[in-house]
Structure 1
Amino acid sequence: MADPAKLVFMIDVDNTLLDNDRFFAELTARLDRLFGEAECQRYWRLYENRRETLGYADYLGALQDFRLENNDEAALLQASEFMLDYPFADLLYPDALAVVDHLGRMGTTIVLSDGDIVFQPRKIRRSGLWDAFGGRVLVYVHKERMLDDIERRFPATRYVMVDDKARLLAAMKLQLGDRLTTIFPRQGHYALDSVVADVAPAPDVAVRHIGELLGFSVQDLNLSKAGV
């Protein structure tokens, strides 16, 4: 059994523990029903503009922008309710919570996510992940730029990062070197990106889905040699 004080598992949320692509598709369908195809496309243009400007997904902010040229208040309220009350627990990948429990037996587990400071924490709470991680939740604008803060909050000998974005894993590996093991679950649209093969350094471990980690031990992750 590893010492939790020596090992910290940092685990992403969207398309790592829950199927955010499905939420994206269902939100698109709902907006199309409420406002029509043209307005639905306008919402996503505003969303992309905000993401490019802010560096993270801002669904609620995009809805505020969308409202400025749409006066269907009843439909806007329905769209807001859909986002805020969405049953995110239904989007958890099979065995996601079991994986959190399994890794928690080897070390300390924390949520490490990007996103806005209102909708993303609500998603984490409504999915049940907040409780599963015992409230150890960090949400940043750019988490790969916040490693000093993460280390201060959760000091450890070794770290493991589980994320569906290979480029982010590489950026963190370049900073922490051998102190970080990167795990790449091939889930979601980023995992299917054609540029994944060109990312360097490549992820230390790749799995087809998050549930595969149930079969991993400290030794399988090459952590035992570091004294973990």
Structure 2
Amino acid sequence: MLIDTVAPEPLVFLLDVDDTLLDNDRFAADLGAELERNFGAAERDRYWAIYAELRDERGYADYLDALQRFRRGLDNHPALLAMSGFVLDYPFELRLFPEALETVAHLRTLGRPVILSDGDVVFQPRKIRRAGLWQALQGDVLVYLHKQHMLDAMQARYPAAHYVMVDDKPDLLAAMKRQLGARLTTVWVRQGHYAATAAEQRIEPAPDLAIPHIRALQQRKLEDFLPDAANAATA
């Protein structure tokens, strides 16, 4: 029995989504404003408390389940059912960071870009599609509950001689670096509230590169990520 094997890529770029390619903080602010407008500040705060409890329990954002639990006591509220449309039809294409798609196109000239995101199996893929990222990445999209625990699965799907992980969370980058070692270059994009919080923390191992925004990657060349990448596949 013949088993198909996938030839490894010389270089794969692994791209986070939230606060890396698109401004998820802006979405959260808009969602909070919509909740307050329809239900008042106290109910808005109750939603975010539910959201935080689920995030701490599961380790990823679950806006839809938080909304499901938020409905308790509000079943007859005229605005309740409209909230699902607000979340599911949110115009994420308007929340892409400047030149995010151009950056993906540039990275494609250096290697194979792949989305590697945390999230649920419904809302996160929909967000990626709505933003135009699914098409831009040509369907190369991975969404796991905890991506730092799924590196074997990621490598099976996208074998490569070397990887570059681009993310706004330096602690997650450090966790992945500890697993993949020299086969991974970590790039910290200092965007969003997670990056702002982490700016005062000491992260070990520190990111290999730190950039102020995603479009800064357009100024980078292959040797900025790994000087021997061009020959790594045959080394």
Please give the TM-score of this superposition, normalised by the length of structure 2. 0.93
Tell me the distance in 2 between the aligned counterparts of 1:128 and 1:194: 29
Q: 1:149 aligns with which of 141, 147, 153?
A: 153
* Structure 1 position 226, deviation (Å): 7.1
Tell me the distance in 2 between the aligned counterparts of 1:214 and 1:201: 25
1:162 matched to 2:166? The reply is yes
Tell me the distance in 2 between the aligned counterparts of 1:79 and 1:167: 33
Tell me the distance in 2 between the aligned counterparts of 1:70 and 1:17: 35
* Structure 1 position 121, deviation (Å): 0.4
In structure 1, the residue matched to 2:120 is 116
Q: 2:93 aligns with which of 77, 89, 95?
A: 89
- Matched to 1:156, the amino acid is A
Q: 1:46 aligns with which of 47, 50, 55?
A: 50
User: Once the two structures are superposed, what CA deviation does each residue of 1:133-184 show, in whole Å capped at 9, x if it has no partner?
Assistant: 0011100010000000000000000000000000000000000000000001
SS at match of 1:192: helix
Asked if the contact 1:4/1:106 (under 8 Å) is kept, the reply is no
Tell me the distance in 1 between the aligned counterparts of 2:230 and 2:10: 10
Asked if the contact 1:4/1:107 (under 8 Å) is kept, the reply is no
Q: 1:30 aligns with which of 22, 27, 34?
A: 34
For residues 116 and 196 of structure 1, do their structure 2 counterparts lie closer, same or farther at Cα, with a shift above 3 Å needed? farther
For residues 128 and 7 of structure 1, do their structure 2 counterparts lie closer, same or farther at Cα, with a shift above 3 Å needed? same
Tell me the distance in 2 between the aligned counterparts of 1:186 and 1:195: 8
- Matched to 2:26, the amino acid is R
In structure 1, the residue matched to 2:72 is 68
In structure 2, the residue matched to 1:172 is 176
Tell me the distance in 1 between the aligned counterparts of 2:9 and 2:49: 44
Please give the TM-score of this superposition, normalised by the length of structure 1. 0.95
Tell me the distance in 2 between the aligned counterparts of 1:206 and 1:35: 40
SS at match of 1:43: helix
* Structure 1 position 196, deviation (Å): 5.0
Tell me the distance in 2 between the aligned counterparts of 1:65 and 1:225: 48
Asked if the contact 2:170/2:198 (under 8 Å) is kept, the reply is no
Tell me the distance in 1 between the aligned counterparts of 2:111 and 2:8: 4
Asked if the contact 2:162/2:229 (under 8 Å) is kept, the reply is no
For residues 153 and 28 of structure 1, do their structure 2 counterparts lie closer, same or farther at Cα, with a shift above 3 Å needed? same
Paired-residue identity, %: 55
Asked if the contact 2:222/2:229 (under 8 Å) is kept, the reply is no
* Structure 1 position 225, deviation (Å): 5.9
Tell me the distance in 2 between the aligned counterparts of 1:113 and 1:121: 9
The range that moved more, 76-85 or 128-137, is 76-85
User: What value does the CA root-mean-square deviation take over the aligned residues?
Assistant: 1.5
Within 5 A, what are the aligned runs for 1:120-135? Answer: 120-135=124-139
1:13 matched to 2:9? The reply is no
Asked if the contact 1:43/1:63 (under 8 Å) is kept, the reply is yes
User: Once the two structures are superposed, what CA deviation does each residue of 1:62-88 show, in whole Å capped at 9, x if it has no partner?
Assistant: 000011221244211121111011000
Asked if the contact 1:46/1:62 (under 8 Å) is kept, the reply is yes
Moved over 3 A (4+): 194-197
